[in-house]
Amino acid sequence: MDGVNKSHNFSAILRNCDAVGVLEAHVVPPPRGLAIHFESSAGTKKWVSVRRHETVRAAASQLKEAGFTLLAAQLSPASIDYRDVDYTIPTAIVMGAELDGVSQEGLRLADEHVKIDMVGMAHSLNVSVATSLLLFEAKRQRDAAGMYEETRLSTEAFRNRLFEWAYPSIAILRQRAGRPYPKLSDDGEIVRE
């Protein structure tokens, strides 16, 4: 999220991410900051990690180093239909604020620009609605490719994520102390060491 400036949109985007299995959202907040609106997010902050970045360049660099292709959702002469993109490769979708769209830096750093064709009189969709369309197209393609049939997380990453979801308070204390998480039994109980 590149400067998304309304907390209810940010929260709704997190909810969209959770709906399709996205585990991590990256955000470059506007100068005033950005909070999560808990009614709109339906508690998804617990399930979707939020990584904050100071600049668009910092976010783009981290994502590109991790092997992601960056798609800027922006109507421009170079934009292609959002359904003509291969979402089965690691993909990060860059969404901007409703009024201004993706920042100029975000547009320059993106590998591709995508658009959602519209035939009505309005020239754009709400940012959380547009995000939903793109994410569900990615889910459709990934479903067709069998990418949801098994977890792609390593065993350790899965166990860590499960512990953080089940025991968030203990996870925070362990992180602060630099200690590993305790093991969980098959029924989700902490195994005493």
Residues 117 and 174 placed together within one structural domain of the fold: no
The CATH number linked to 80 is 3.40.1280.10
The last residue of one of the domains, among 144, 166, 182, is 144
Residue 106 lies inside a defined structural domain of this protein: yes
Residues 111 and 168 placed together within one structural domain of the fold: no
Q: Is the pLDDT of residue 44 over 90?
A: no
**Residue environment code for 32-44, b if the CB has 16+ CB neighbours within 10 A, otherwise e:** eebeeeeebbeeb
Helices vs strands, H then E, count in the chain: 7, 6
CA distance 66 to 91: 10
CA distance 84 to 137: 10
CA distance 75 to 102: 10
Over residues 71-99, the pLDDT tens digits come to: 999 988 889 999 999 999 999 999 998 88
CA distance 16 to 131: 7
Residue 1 lies inside a defined structural domain of this protein: no
Q: Which domain holds residue 165?
A: 151-193
Over residues 94-143, the pLDDT tens digits come to: 999 888 899 999 999 999 999 999 888 887 899 999 999 999 999 999 99
Residues sharing a CB contact under 8 Å with residue 192, sequence separation 6 or more, in sequence order: 182
This prediction's pTM: 0.83
pLDDT for the residue numbered 188: 85
Residues 26 and 84 placed together within one structural domain of the fold: yes
Residues 26 and 41 placed together within one structural domain of the fold: yes
Closest CA to 132 of 77, 76, 73, 64: 73
Residues 126 and 170 placed together within one structural domain of the fold: no
CA distance 138 to 70: 13
> Mean pLDDT over residues 14-27, rounded?
92
Residues 100 and 60 placed together within one structural domain of the fold: yes
Residues 112 and 18 placed together within one structural domain of the fold: yes
CA distances to 56, 74, 192 from 185, in Å? 41, 47, 10
pLDDT for the residue numbered 26: 95
What is the longest distance spanned by two Cα atoms in the chain?
63
Strand pairing class (49-52; 80-81): unpaired
